[in-house]
Amino acid sequence: MKKSYQRLRGTLDFYPPESDLIQEIVGKARNLFNTFGYQEVILPILEREEIFTKSVGKTSDIVGEKQMFRVEGKDIVLRPEGTAGMVRSFIENALYTKKDFYKFFYIGPMFRGERPQKGRLRQFHHIGCEAFGSNSPYLDVEVIKLALSILQECGIKGIKLKVNSLGCQQDKANLTNFLKKELISYRSKLCPLCQRRLTTNPLRVLDCKEESCRKVVSHLDISDRFLCKECLCHFNEVLSLLKELEIDFLYQPTLVRGLDYYTNTVFELVHKQLGSQDACGAGGRYNDLVKNLGGPSIPAIGFALGLERMLLLLKKPDLTSKVLVFVAYTSLNVYPQAYKLLNTLRKNKVSSDISYKEKSLKSQLRSAEKAGANFVIIVGDEEIKRGHLIVRDMKKSCQRTVECSRILDFFLS
Ligand SMILES: [Zn+2]
Ligand SMILES: [Zn+2]
């Protein structure tokens, strides 16, 4: 038996209609980004590992739990997320010396090196954006509104918005210290991962999905009491702006997100249909990241939507081809004329196709039907001598004779 190859675990092949659907989602996202004043960047998939250990954090799942896809023998990884690379590029190109405010978006693949499990792919795609240079709560709300608009425009209903504020570094440190003290007495009740987190990153215990950890967390009094005056004021403004725009949200003080670089506003877009990994997008502020990666102190905020998660929430469309016209022929004698006609149609942007197999007219009509063609132009031995073509309307099941010279007008008018 011949050897056959299978795709790698945790990767997906996309065919129509799913690949068409992806293009539609990407198109709608691009339009909305433009409407909101964001410009597209295309950045490398390969980056130095260090930019992620320094930004996402050594104790994050991505770095600490060795989820990055490393290039063997090098300090290079396939990017696990888009923000760190964006910040690296922003600093490297010294964009801040040219303008004091930037809004970018990106669409592309991201990678994980861990063993793939349900809902967690090895290669997946993010639609994301980043805004640099402002700490305005109005910008926080713009970014949230933009993420929601993309999901809505794609026809995804039932999304819930969860928001929280982690505060500045000092506030985060205060909360961390509080958690260290409080959680130590519950240590045995935490999952093994959270027991480790207790010393490395106690914040992460707050959003652990394990039932035992959630129970422990529910006893804690955290709310917004660890926010300093300035951060509390910022957060309250974000919340009241959301109300003003009539955006429903759930304030969840335990929402911390898995990445160390977040400060202040964090948010998650969840859908109950997605199960335990219920987020189809998330984002937040990272006001210290530009500085931490070697740039000046510039506040920033962004989000990323998971394309595959979005696909799970959309009904699969029917398999329909986009070919409008199928060119058929009654015999191989007229194939050259049929082929010429096909090229004329295409030159005039009429989507069209032909059979490249020697087939009877009957089976060509069947192929046309499978291709979803609305019309079939039949190039007939007899008709072509008189300068005529037959146009068959596949939807109405009727046909008429059209002069060769008028065929383009027929489709273009
Ligand atoms: Zn603060
Ligand atoms: Zn846990």
Dist. CA 351 → ligand 2 center (Å): 55
Spatial contact of 144 and 247, defined as CB atoms under 8 Å apart: yes
Q: Give the ligand at the shortest distance from the Cα of 172.
A: 1
Mean pLDDT by 10 residues, the chain (413 residues): 89 92 96 98 97 84 80 93 97 97 98 78 96 98 98 96 97 93 92 90 89 92 92 98 98 90 96 89 97 97 97 76 87 96 96 93 94 94 96 94 94 83
The whole model's pTM is what?
A: 0.90
Q: Return d(Cα 16, Cα 374) in angstroms, integer.
A: 19
Give the residue from 233, 237, 231, 305 showing the smallest Cα distance to 267: 305
pLDDT in the model for residue 114: 77
Dist. CA 212 → ligand 2 center (Å): 7
* Residue 306: both structure tokens together: 């998971």
By the CB criterion, residues less than 5 angstroms from ion ligand 2 are 191, 194, 208, 210, 213
Vertex 168 angle, CA 82 and 201, to 5°: 70
Please name the fold of domain 325-412: Rossmann fold (3.40.50)
Identical fold, 18-168+228-312 and 325-412 = no
pLDDT in the model for residue 319: 58
Q: Give the ligand at the shortest distance from the Cα of 211.
A: 2
pLDDT in the model for residue 117: 72
pLDDT in the model for residue 63: 76
pLDDT in the model for residue 120: 78
Q: Name residue, tokens 């994980």.
A: 112
Q: Where are the domains positioned within the chain?
A: 18-168+228-312, 325-412
* Residue 260: both structure tokens together: 């160390």
Task: Tell me the pLDDT tens digit for each residue of 110-167.
Answer: 999 877 776 679 999 999 999 999 999 999 999 999 999 999 999 999 999 999 999 9
* Residue 133: both structure tokens together: 């240079």
Q: Give the ligand at the shortest distance from the Cα of 197.
A: 2
Indicate the CATH number of 18-168+228-312 among 3.30.360.10, 3.90.1150.10, 3.40.50.300, 3.30.930.10. Answer: 3.30.930.10
